[in-house]
Structure 1
Amino acid sequence: MTAKQVRRVCVYARVSTGRQAKSDLSIPDQIARAERWCEANGAELVETVVESGASATDDNRPQFQKMIEAATSEDRPYDVILGHSLSRLFRNALHFMQYRAALRRANVQIISITQEFGDDEASDLAMGMLSLFDEYQSRENGKHTKRAMQKNAELGFWNGQTPPLGYRTYEAERRGGKSKKKLEIDDDEAFVVRKLYDLYLHGPPGASPLGITRLASWLNEHGYKHRGKKFHVSNVQKILRNTAYIGVAFYNKRDSKKGIVRPEEEWIPIPVPAIIEAADFELVQERLVERQPKMTAARVTTTKNLLIGLTKCGCEGDGCGGGMTRSTGRSGQYKYYACSNRARAGEAACTGRRIPMPNLDTIVLDALERRLLQPERLNALLASWLDHSDKAAEGRRAELKSLRSRQTHLEAGLERLIDLVADGHFSSSDPIFAKKHADQTGQLAQVKDEIVMLERQLANSSRRITPKRIEQFATLLKEKLRADDPALRQAYVRSVVERVEVGTKLIRIVGGTKDLERAIGRVDTMQKGIVPTIERKWRARVDSNHRPQD
């Protein structure tokens, strides 16, 4: 079909980002050019399809799919799909070929306003090559954009995604004509966040702490909103786990295309103002772990094999990365940690390695004592957690004093309003009186809530991380790691170790500072002999220990 034969046209206009769509940078121009093309070619414009803020690298575009469905239906309403360029329709060569074939079967032609093609085989080849180039260019643009956004995050700026509840963006500076934004606290939303944490830790007045499901229901029943929408289990849980509330947001945490979380070492921390105290946040994390139904007590899940489930075959590429399981010698007298892939699939899966259990247990326990459980080392690892304490408590006391003064002022204001009614200056049904009374009553209720939260935070200040608590933790854990009870010993190892990578010449013990901080926060319960809850989600810095010669 040539341009002269065209009768019915559907125009497809697209921009890649919501920001472009809102600022009308491209769509009106695409539509205007398409209208001129239709007029010049005697075509009838029957429909205009607009896709705002969608990439053409995939076909997950609602308006695009509706258009294709109509074009390939029995009573197709148009003969041509018209775009400003092929890249407006496709930036994936495979999708271009698949959809072009489907449209051809329906006798619908794809036409680009800015790129002229004929109907012969050479034109097909040219269009295919151009679609490959568009895909390549899109990927290159994506690389450059990703690098720029990562650099922006490294400099502490916000990249434009929706801020967490409790925050809003502001323009921090301008560079090269571009606005660089950071996050600041939105006081109204921050109050809701603090209330949510307080209810999870302490519950409503006179009631016990609320679980996530009950918490979402309570917030909805009492009129609290998540930016105009209702709370539900998933967004409550997300708020309770978000480290932004203690001052560190993360960029590059999730691969949106693959739908997976990236390795923690690729996350880029962005400093933001804190809304929740670190001690309260970590107490929340403990309770979230304790309340997970899949988490069972250490004494139930442990065995006498200290490192089973933690050991991995290989270190720095020296090995297959599979788990290591228990193995015995021919007599059954000697026990080893051995590569499970080798045991299951033979040398084709892994050349394999094994190490006597007592040897590896001793190496790990000795390394924890010498390399980790020294107060100087722990102080260095936990420098960012080290108090927040006296200064934070002093700040809370000053804020509490200010709030109590505000409470007195509001209560006096309410009494004056009542006096005005009593003296006949206002009627209790007067809308002005009703508005002022409701406003001051609401402010007073919020101030009282904040006072209760601050008082609880001050009462819990004994949980803060101090050099003294670190020293107590180091001494206590050294003792626990040499306990006679193997299940108890294993539980304490797992509270600070995520995995042990076993190579031919190197053994690496991997753990993380957040879990250390959480374990130190539980030092009081440890002193009472309570076994720590096993943590499954640990990441971290690494300590390397050279393997002794056989």
Structure 2
Amino acid sequence: MTSAAVYARVSSAGQKKDRTIGSQTAALRAHAARLHCDLPEEWIFEDEGHSGATLVRPGLERLRDLVAQAAVDVVLCYAPDRLARKFAYQALLIEEFARVGTRVEFVKGPRGDSPEDQLLIQFQGMFAEYEKAQLMERYRRGKAYRARAGSVNVLGGAPFGYRYRRKTPECGATYEIVESEAAIVAELFRRYTDDGASIAGLTRWLTATGTPTRTGKRRWDRSVVWGMLRNPAYAGTAVFGKTKIVHESAGLNRRARLEGRTTPRAVKAVEQPRQEWIAIPVPAIISRVTFERAAQRLEDNKKFAARNSKVPSLLQGLAACAVCGYGYYRTSTRTTNKKIYYYRCLGSDDYRYEGGRICANKPVRADYLDAVVWDHITGLLADPSLIRAEIDQRLEHARTSDPATREQGRLRLALAGADTAITRMIEAYQEQLITIDELRSRMPGLRARQANLRSQLDALQTQLADREAYLKLADDLEGFLAQLHHNAVTADVEEQQRVLRLLVKDVLIGPEKITIRHRIPLREPGPATRHRDPHTDTESDTAGDRGPSYLLRWGRDW
């Protein structure tokens, strides 16, 4: 039976909310049933709220991975513009699928393989791309024209201190000052410019007054206050076009990556050059002079902030909390005769979270922790045989149980099946079971599948041969690491950071232990360390009492 996979897509948030993708999937299921195709449930791929102008879509990525395994005979899609909105992307995907013997069939489109049908598919792809570009350009130019005409409705909502009045048949949209909120905004700028209040102090003041934010929250964040101080609308000039949307994946912080979260859409906003901003007059709450004074102080903060003159630390960007997943930042305290630095968990700060701290992990003395980690790394460099043993073990693992080796065996079986199918087709023609026209129509697909499988086998064999050559790169490993260990003794903090990032993935700080996760696993753990090697990254637990007894934390009961 012919195996089939299904792909459906909707792009707008409204379509995602209304679940209109369900109608596409239902039509594709019915079409697969009419063709008597075998459609496994896990081979139904959907992308909700993803633009067809990009190939970075979760469902499409999984479909391409499946087809690359040469396991699908046909991919069913509702229409060419559901596969992609750009003709070049449609052609790329169809050709990519055809190389492994998988054809693409559309419910609303040509269903044959004749040159005329292929030409019609290309025309539909070009029309879909043109329609998308035309709509986006009309939308952009229309909003830009209305912004230059002073229309507020291109801005959508209103910031704190204003109320957005929607347009009516009699007049356009406007900003209306909310007197109670406007008084708070004026006081906010006065405290920042005249009294020298900090952004953190302003945040605490706003939270203490119980004033809700624009979104209804009772707790104010410093980023919200910082954004208000930069908003020129309060001085009488709102701005349109400060950002634009680009088709790139938005970044995720460490906590989101550990939780396995993904971005809903592969787009992000980037700031536009200031000369491209369009000013729109709105009612002013503060004077232009007050806003410029606040802007000057914000600019001075960038130059004279303490963080710009801090001493670099060894574990900068590498330390994270093993309990909550948040990163560690460096802070300091001053005694009677010296300044002491600590690494502190972001989750242990009360002021950052509405319900108070979410992590009880204590701070760590920066100088003690840096010494422990650096001593551990220099000890690793002192014994290059550990690294050589790991390289040898990885190469042996690659030869026996590597996915490339398993893939090679699977491709050989698939190639044998393709050869058998070609032989049977020729025998069927010789026995007059099929006509010459049927042979000519079926043979090109089988030949293409056979040629593709052979090219994949050649590529894998080249890859495995490259791994053998990798041994030559490790011939002088002992000499290289010996020189690196010698230089590490006299290295400054910047050089130590470079070495550390080559060998250490991250340092997880927990209540009872410090975990150093290496990029190259250890093979001979000492009595005070242990390791595991789940995905070629060893987790090496360095106990606090290893070597000299360091007091890493406040208190001695850990």
TM-score band, normalised by shorter chain: 0.3 to 0.5
TM-score normalised over the length of structure 2:
0.41
